[in-house]
């Protein structure tokens, strides 16, 4: 699914006839071709593939999350890294709203009851539905995705606080921005915790056993970043014990999520297969951004979305 379709490769060839585009559809094909490449367009790159890319000058990822690419050889190399930052922010923000509302309105319960042919009005009324209006939402990370989530939650009447690394605590309009050091102080009051921070050495495991223990029993955890930001075993324990109410997970440490994962059987979890960022025009938008950067590369102009390989975003 993450391999660029042939028609978009052809579109790039037509737009840049002076360049040679080599299209690999598998890791083996990529290993055979990458030694010739000065520019690489790839959603992910292995250490083996990077080692084979002896002429590489610039790597562009259509994804926003590039934490898995930041191994030592890449970070220490002169290769410029750019990403798809911001391209899927609005799409992912809509996904966050969808899964939050699904839990608040108890849609998983309704769907299970529907499959059994049960009229579950009493059971659902007893637990009570909730609304985004009046809820307290804590967003971890205020990049493109986190900012889009915060804006939409505010429009629906939520009280939103966003955490940003080293930020001074301020209120901009109706959005409160706080430094990441305030995480533990803010977790107990949050109805919804949205993980939207980039995957870096500082954010890995940011939600662990201690953080989960601080959350309210009514809280919902939504992860649209990377699985590595959450201690999955601690989360499974918290969900089983009812120490938090529910989770909506689009990303996992191991993908595809193994069939034996306990997450599949938990009734208070919504699982989506890393699809929160997908949009109907995904490849058109991804190749348009890449094409603009090719134009800039040829003109020796600054590239868009250059990643700070030390900071990780």
Instruction: For 56-72, write each residue's pLDDT tens digit.
Output: 999 999 999 898 899 99
The pLDDT value given to residue 1: 76
Q: What angle do CA 102, 106, 109 make, to 5 degrees?
A: 115
The H or E element that residue 223 is part of is strand 220-223
Mean pLDDT, range 240-265, rounded to an integer: 98
Q: Tell me the whole-structure pTM to 2 decimals.
A: 0.93
Q: Which of the four pLDDT bands, split at 50, 70 and 90, describes residue 169?
A: confident
Question: pLDDT by residue (tens digit) across 54-110?
Answer: 999 999 999 998 988 999 999 999 999 999 999 999 999 999 999 999 999 999 999
Instruction: Given the residues 85, 106, 199, 274, select the one marked as catalytic.
Output: 274
Question: Mean pLDDT score of the chain, rounded to an integer?
Answer: 95
Catalytic residue selected from 106, 164, 226, 282: 226
Answer whether residue 123 shows pLDDT above 90. no
- pLDDT (0 to 100) of residue 168: 78
Q: Set out the domains of the chain in order of their start, with CATH numbers.
A: 6-87+279-299 (3.40.50.720), 89-271 (3.40.50.720)
Query: Of the residues 10, 255, 292, 301, which is catalytic?
Result: 255
Task: Give catalytic status of residue 76 as yes or no.
Answer: no
Q: Which of 252, 239, 301, 249 lies closest to 271 in space, CA to CA?
A: 249
CB atoms within 10 A of CB 271: 15
Q: Establish whether 274 is a catalytic residue.
A: yes
Instruction: For residue 165, give both structure tokens.
Output: 């690394």
Helix (H, G, I), strand (E, B) or coil at 114: helix
Partner residues linked to 59 by β-bridges: 40, 81
For the question of residue 210 being annotated catalytic, the response is no
pLDDT (mean) for 124-142: 92
**Contact call for residues 103 and 248 (beta carbons, < 8 A):** yes
Closest CA to 104 of 195, 220, 215, 224: 220
Mean pLDDT over residues 207-222, rounded?
98
């Amino acid at each position: 699914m993450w391999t660029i379709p042939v028609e978009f490769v052809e579109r790039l060839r037509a737009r840049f006839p002076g360049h040679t585009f080599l299209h690999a559809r598998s890791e083996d094909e990529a290993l055979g071709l990458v030694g010739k490449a000065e520019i690489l367009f790839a959603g992910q790159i292995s250490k083996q593939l990077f080692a084979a890319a002896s002429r590489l000058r610039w790597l562009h990822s259509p994804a926003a999350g590039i934490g898995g690419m930041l191994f030592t050889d890449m970070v220490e190399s002169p290769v410029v890294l750019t990403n798809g930052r911001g391209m899927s922010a609005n799409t992912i923000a809509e996904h966050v709203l969808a899964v939050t509302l699904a839990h608040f309105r108890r849609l998983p319960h309704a769907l299970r009851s529907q499959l059994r042919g049960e009229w579950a009005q009493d059971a659902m009324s007893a637990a009570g539905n909730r609304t985004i209006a009046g809820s307290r939402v804590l967003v971890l990370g205020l990049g493109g995705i986190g900012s889009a989530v915060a804006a939409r939650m505010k429009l629906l009447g939520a009280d939103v606080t966003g955490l940003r690394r080293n930020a001074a605590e301020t209120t901009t309009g109706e959005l409160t921005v706080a430094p990441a050091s305030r995480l533990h102080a803010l977790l107990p009051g949050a109805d919804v915790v949205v993980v939207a921070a980039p995957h870096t050495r500082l954010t890995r495991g940011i939600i662990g056993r201690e953080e989960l223990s601080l959350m309210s029993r009514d809280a919902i955890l939504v992860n649209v970043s990377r699985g590595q930001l959450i201690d999955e075993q601690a989360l499974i324990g918290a969900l089983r014990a009812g120490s938090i109410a529910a989770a909506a997970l689009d990303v996992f440490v191991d993908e595809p999520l193994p069939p034996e994962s306990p997450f599949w059987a938990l009734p208070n979890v919504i699982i989506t297969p890393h699809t929160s960022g997908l949009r109907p025009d995904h490849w058109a938008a991804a190749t348009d951004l890449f094409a603009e950067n090719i134009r800039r590369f040829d003109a020796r102009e600054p590239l868009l979305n250059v990643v700070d390989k030390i900071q990780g975003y």
